[in-house]
Amino acid sequence: MTEHYRMLIDGQKPALDPAHALSVVNPLTGQTNAMVSDATAEQVHDAVTAAENAFTTVWQRTPGVERARLMNALADLIDGHADELAQLETDDNGKLLRETRTQAHFAARNYRFFAGMADKIFGHTIPLDSYDSFDYTVREPLGVAALITAWNSPLQLLANKLAPALAAGNTVVIKPSELAPRSTLRLGDLVREAGFPPGVVNIITGGREAGEALTSDPRLGRISFTGSVGTGQAIAAAAARTLVPVTLELGGKSANIVFDDADLDRAVIGAVAGIFAAGGQTCIAGSRLLVQAGVYDEMVSRVSARADDIVLGDPSLDTTQMGPVANAPQLERIEAMIAAGRDSGATITSGGERPTGSDLSPGLFMRPTVFAGVDPMARIAQEEIFGPVLSIIRFETEDDAVSIANNTDFALASGIWTNDLSRAHRIARRLVAGTVWVNTYRSSAAQAPFGGTKKSGYGRERGVEAIEEYLRTKNVMIDLSDSVRDPFSIQA
């Protein structure tokens, strides 16, 4: 019997209505993992109401030290249930179990990091022109935050949003992708076990109707969304009508740049891991490998050989190096973009097709694919594919590398491989990207801010900058004088 995973609204888990239910499918087997609710607009409204009530009656009055205690308790529970949470996520999206387990522990680290900030949200005193005036600021939470995550890394993406939102004193309504919701719904159980008051954290599931009902609710204090550019644009448009501020973490077409003085052993590993470690299904994927002419042929040869050796299979096994694509529509998108790459005149040096073999046939697998001789303006070099497809582009000079790297609609991440310290700093300054890695790629830290610009979105997650997304400033001005002033003489 297929298991039902229930939403969390005001501390309760409403029963799943079969008439409003969605299937969650395992991309490895094609079998249904579970059924989840396709929330109605009324249920979404109830979740926002619960969050609003919890904010005004409980959470905004809860001291930072108590918020921190609850967040640390949640982090401990996440660490204790990391294997279970990771397996749910792997079964939903096909990502390697060892990666989803690492991401669960990294999520816990984020909750601890922001718990440490919960009682350190300070205002300032401001000296004014008048001696008899006293002015100060107060940093206050926004109220109810809507947190919407994608299917590729649900727990980690949620931690980027939920941790600073709670630390700042906001209540939340969470909507995970309906394609991979189970780890988030299970997290709701841990939220209750940690002792959070009912209504502080609410979790809904569903498709378009639920998403539109949530993002158009005027009671929200912020919307934070991770996902596609098109959906992000629709959310920003809806939020503009209600004047709700938005944080958007969208797509990427990141340039991983290898100069001819680089340590090629490290650069090859960085290039392969940058695109294939998560099957390319990550916004920061190093999907464009820019290689200087002097080492271009060697890099093409070595990267293609490493791609050929990647072991596909069950993502729960330690021997597997890349699992299936997360869902059928995404696989269709990848196949269409590979066809576009062929049509553009680029050369496939590895992969380019689905694998054959009875052990893989039920799954949504695509072989790691490498294109060489890619025109920087070709579709495969300009559009986000979100799959295991690498475009290798030749460049001659530093100016060429910077020009090609910056010449896309996206500006999320980038990588530089060089042993020249001056060059590393020079290029990092010139790259338009929210993150620049030097002699590494896809490294993360709770303390390091993350986000992009251009069509990669705006706002920041992680780091001290993230908590600012969930706070507003109130100014308080006090007249200390003991005399009566003519109100018509006071400057506005």
469 carries an active-site annotation: no
Active-site annotation holder among 249, 383, 384, 469: 249
Residue found by looking up tokens 């475009």 in the block: 391
Rounded distance between C-alpha atoms, residue 23 and residue 25, angstroms: 6
120 carries an active-site annotation: no
Pair 414, 257: CB distance under 8 Å: yes
Helix (H, G, I), strand (E, B) or coil at 24: strand
Rounded to 5 degrees, what are φ and ψ at 325? Answer: -65, 150
Rounded distance between C-alpha atoms, residue 113 and residue 117, angstroms: 7
13 carries an active-site annotation: no
Pair 78, 85: CB distance under 8 Å: yes
Contacts by 240-244, CB closer than 8 A, 24 or more apart: 241/216, 242/216, 242/217, 242/218, 244/218, 244/220
The secondary structure of the chain in percent helix, strand, coil, rounded to multiples of 5, reads 40, 20, 40
State how beta strands 410-411 and 453-454 pair: antiparallel
Rounded distance between C-alpha atoms, residue 87 and residue 100, angstroms: 8
Token pair belonging to 434:
């929210």
Active-site annotation holder among 95, 161, 175, 455: 161
Rounded distance between C-alpha atoms, residue 289 and residue 395, angstroms: 10
Rounded distance between C-alpha atoms, residue 288 and residue 394, angstroms: 10
Rounded distance between C-alpha atoms, residue 354 and residue 442, angstroms: 26
283 carries an active-site annotation: yes
Active-site annotation holder among 99, 175, 283, 455: 283
What separation in angstroms does the CA of 354 have from each of 288, 344, 362, 384?
Answer: 21, 20, 12, 20
> Could you list the active site residues?
161, 249, 283, 461
